[in-house]
Amino acid sequence: MAGLIVLAALAACQPAESEPAAETRPSFTASVDPSASVKDALITAYRGMWRDFADAARTADWNDPDLADHATGDAEAKLRYGLFLASKKGQIVKGEPRLLRPEITKLEREKAAIADCVDDTGFLVYAKDGKRAKDAAGAGRHLATATLKLRDGSWYVTSYTLKEAGTC
């Protein structure tokens, strides 16, 4: 809005009979929300955590180093523990959870929070022999919350919760 006001004010001051040469005309750029790139980085880190988890779940590899690409602390430990349990049971997970509407609910200098609705109906558990596990049906839509922190110039999910099915 401020950019439009400045543009209108400059146009009103411009003499009607002469127009400056192309090389002397002022250059205008659209104003950019400085927090837009931060918000994009937060959503990218959050989505990246789920993508890394889905990739590792295909083999139940709880030692997958990529799990640390977007998650750290309690979030990384929780992801690894879930995969450890699946591996111990001889299970893998196919598909991916669908992130329906991740929204930044809190944004501070080095800490942020995201709320989302995660649909796991297409994220299904199988035995390693390829047969669907009996209790493997995706449960539905879950309210998810995540805390992210800035570390060495990058955002990482440090904790997350996934509520029971039907909460969103």
Tell me the Ramachandran region of residue 51: left when phi exceeds 0, alpha when psi lies from -120 to 50, beta otherwise: alpha
Q: How is domain 36-165 classified at the architecture level of CATH?
A: Roll (3.10)
Strands 154-165 and 103-107: unpaired
* Domain spans of the chain, in order of start: 36-165
pLDDT of residue 159: 98
pLDDT tens-digit series, residues 74-107? 999 999 999 999 999 999 999 999 999 999 999 9
Residue 60 has, within 13 A of its CA and on its CB side, a CA count of 18
Please name the helix (run of DSSP H) or strand (run of DSSP E) that holds residue 2, with its range, or none: helix 2-13
Predicted structure pTM score: 0.77
**Backbone torsions φ then ψ of 103, nearest 5 degrees:** -130, 140
Q: What is the pLDDT along the chain (168 residues), one digit of tens a residue?
A: 222 212 122 223 333 333 334 344 333 333 345 567 999 999 999 999 999 999 999 999 999 999 999 999 999 999 999 999 999 999 999 999 999 999 999 999 999 999 999 999 989 899 888 888 876 656 899 999 999 999 999 999 999 999 999 999
pLDDT of residue 35: 62
